[in-house]
Amino acid sequence: MMDACGIDSPEALFAHLPEAARLSRPLELPAGISEYEIVEYFRQRAAENANGYASFLGAGVYNHFRPVLVDAVASRGEFLTSYTPYQAEISQGTLTAIFEFQTMICQLTGMDVANASMYDGSTAVPEAAMMAVRATGKGRVLVAKSVHPEYREVLATYAKNQGMPVAEFGYGAESGNLDLEDLERQMDSLTGAVIIQTPNFFGIVERVKAAAEIAHRHGALLIVVFTEAVSLGLLEPPADADIVAGELQSFAISPSYGGPYAGIIATKEKYIRQMPGRLVGQTTDSRGNRAFCLTLSTREQHIRREKATSNICTNQALIALMATVFMTVYGKQGLRELAEQNLAKAHYLAGKWKPRFSGKFFNEFVVRAEGKSPGEINKALLKKKIVGGLPLGRFYPELADSMLLCATEMTKRADMDALAEVLA
């Protein structure tokens, strides 16, 4: 190889770099180890995972069953090895899958159009806010405190550099629902977006229609966020929203630290040109056959440079495909039954205490830890191989005595009873 390159040592490849910028000693790396040793190393590390533990964590990441068909389809080379298409039309299979994804997201959300996916739910939220600001010409954003706290942090990061003032409105101390009076009080003529989440961070189902009415009366758009996509199998689609932004982790994407997950943005047809990201459309080819194409790319960075609607110029192709297979496997009826199981299990669990909030909830709810702190309770639970709920003090100082518990179709009755014993 060095002969072919016309050099006499690998160092010659770096000769053009200044001496001071080059490392003059070998890298401090351990000696090579065999394949067997590597496999053994990872086997040991994997054994350190909390295998065999029951978990009651939700809060934006949910433990749902992954049908085996998901990996069977997603691991096909045609999907697994391809990036989101740029020379799009030669990849009809990928485009077909994305088109089906978009169609199903529209059916679930009650929107007219969905894009090919976003990085995750947290980045979909500021993108939706920027859409609303572009569409209304009004730069201020009002977000509910009951929207996922980390999503609000990502929103703040984007907003800071967009010159987009963000204010928050509260939740009812009794109900856990949106404080609509606070929303009304804080609305003004400069607000272009109102952001709510349903089910909200406390698991409570929100009054979308009432929030939409207030937003629209003041000339703002309503953005509805979801973190638990399974809830869409049972709840009325948030069709009163102007934009829906959410996270699809619940649809066959393994809970893993840092992702990758997949987000969505869906909207009404009249805002289609403000929507970021890729969009696949259906068309007819020169021979009259049905075909798929990337459409409205003039909103995108690779066509429109600095005038693009967003810096996202890609999508979560493979992860969105997993969600597509999941939605296909379950179907409308299956997703409804899955959601009903979640609802039933969470309400069985909640029956053991009085939840802190009176609002109607889906598969998560807040409980007050009586006597002990949430941290102490979780420590006691770990001894019983149970990962407890999320202590809320980290995000909501006023709820420092409370934790957020989640039950899904995967939660076993015996574990729920064991949890109840420790919490009692």
List interacting residues with another protein (CB under 8 A). Answer: 137, 273, 298, 303-304, 307
As measured in angstroms, the least distance from the Cβ of 396 to another protein is 40
User: Whole-number minimum distance, CB 306 to another protein, in Å?
Assistant: 11
Written as six digits, the tokens of 241 are 């929203």
**Residue (59 or 130) nearer to another protein, CB:** 130
Cis peptide before 237 (omega within 30 of 0): no
Question: Residue 185 or residue 270: which is nearer to another protein going by CB?
Answer: 270
Q: Smaller CB distance to another protein: residue 304 or 413?
A: 304
Q: How far is CA 228 from CA 70, 358, 364, 403, in A?
A: 19, 20, 10, 18
CA–CA gap between residue 423 and residue 401 (Å, rounded): 13
In sequence order, what DSSP letters do the residues of 251-296 get, joined into one string? TT----TT----EEEEE-GGGGGG--S--EEEEE-TTS-EEEEE--
Rounded to a whole number of angstroms, the minimum distance from the CB of residue 215 to another protein is 20
Shorter beta-carbon distance to another protein: residue 28 or 306:
306
Nearer to another protein, 220 or 350 (CB): 220
Whether the bond into 238 is cis, omega within 30 of 0: no
Quote the CA–CA distance of 124 and 118 in Å, as a whole number.
Answer: 6
259: phi then psi, degrees, rounded to nearest 5 = 90, -155
Shortest Cβ distance from residue 339 to another protein (Å)? 39
Structure tokens given for 53: 């533990």
Q: Using the minimum distance from each CB to another protein, give the nearer residue, 210 or 272.
A: 272
Give the DSSP per-residue string, 359-393. Answer: S-BSSEEEEE--SS-HHHHHHHHHHTTEE--EEGG
> Which residue lies nearer to another protein by CB, 76 or 304?
304
Q: How far is the CB of 226 from another protein (least distance, A)?
A: 30
Q: State the residue for tokens 């957020």.
A: 404
Q: How far is the CB of 219 from another protein (least distance, A)?
A: 13
CB 273, min distance to another protein, A: 7
Q: Nearer to another protein by C-beta: 16 or 307? A: 307
For residues 276 and 299, is the Cβ–Cβ distance under 8 A?
A: yes
Judged on CB neighbours under 10 Å (0-12, 13-18, 19+), 131 is buried
* Residue 305 C-beta: closest distance to another protein, Å: 10
- Give 18 or 137: the residue with its C-beta nearer to another protein: 137
Which tokens hold the place of 71? 């990996």
Residues 6+ apart with CB under 8 A from 266: 105, 106, 109, 111, 112, 113, 114, 115, 243, 244
Least gap, CB of 304 to another protein (angstroms): 6
